[in-house]
């Protein structure tokens, strides 16, 4: 699997492990539920600001979030 395609799977896995829905995650980082769905379906990638918010929320590095470094 290419690195760029892993983000969607990592995001969904992290969200599932934390037992939160797309709506809760979206509210927490200030985006719509639809954006979370778009990211998890691989239709678009988040911008750098969103990556920072996601990494902070999940307490991981951006490298881990985008699969540049193993979790």
pLDDT at position 68, please? Answer: 82
CA atoms within 13 A on the CB side of 46: 25
User: Cα dist. 37→10, 21, 24, 26, 46 in Å?
Assistant: 13, 10, 12, 10, 11
pLDDT tier at 70 (50, 70, 90 boundaries)?
low
pLDDT at position 4, please? Answer: 53
pLDDT at position 1, please? Answer: 44
pLDDT at position 5, please? Answer: 73
The answer on pLDDT for 19 being more than 80 is yes
pLDDT at position 38, please? Answer: 97
With beta carbons less than 8 A apart as the criterion, state whether 49 and 17 touch: no
Show Cβ contacts of residue 62 under 8 Å, excluding neighbours closer than 6 positions: 51, 52, 55, 68
Query: Which of 42, 44, 46, 38 is closest to 9 using CA atoms?
Result: 42
The answer on pLDDT for 71 being more than 90 is no
């Amino acid at each position: 699997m290419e690195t760029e395609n892993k983000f969607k799977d990592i995001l969904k896995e992290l969200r599932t492990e934390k037992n939160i829905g797309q709506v809760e995650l979206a509210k927490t980082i200030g985006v719509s539920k639809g954006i979370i769905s778009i990211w998890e379906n691989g239709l678009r990638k988040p911008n750098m600001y969103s990556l920072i918010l996601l990494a902070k929320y999940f307490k991981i590095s951006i490298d881990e979030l985008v699969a540049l470094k193993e979790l």
